[in-house]
Amino acid sequence: MRALSYLALGDSYTIGEGVEPASRWPMQLARALREAGIAIDDPHIIATTGWSCDELAAAMDDAEPPGNQDFVSLLIGVNDQYRGHPLDDYVGAFHRLLRRAVTLAGERADRVIVLSIPDWGVTPFAIASGRDRSAIADDLDAYNAAAQELCEAEGVAFVDITGISRDGGGDTAMLADDGLHPSAAMYARWTQAALPVAMKLLRGD
pLDDT at 184: 97
| pLDDT over 70 at 205, yes or no | no
The arithmetic mean of pLDDT across residues 46-50, rounded, is: 98
* Residue 112: DSSP 8-state: E
Read off the pLDDT band of 2 (50, 70, 90): confident
| pLDDT over 80 at 65, yes or no | no
The structure's pTM equals 0.96
The arithmetic mean of pLDDT across residues 28-50, rounded, is: 97
In the chain, pLDDT over 90 holds for what percent of residues? 94
- CB atoms inside a 10 Å sphere around CB 151: 22
Q: Among 116, 131, 113, which residue's Cα sits nearest to residue 180? A: 131
CA distance 95 to 99: 6
Average pLDDT, the chain: 96
- Show me where the domains of the chain are located: 6-203
CA distance 134 to 151: 25
pLDDT at 67: 81
| pLDDT over 60 at 33, yes or no | yes
The arithmetic mean of pLDDT across residues 94-117, rounded, is: 97
Q: Among 71, 149, 83, 92, which residue's Cα sits nearest to residue 116? A: 149
Superfamily per CATH, domain 6-203: SGNH hydrolase (3.40.50.1110)
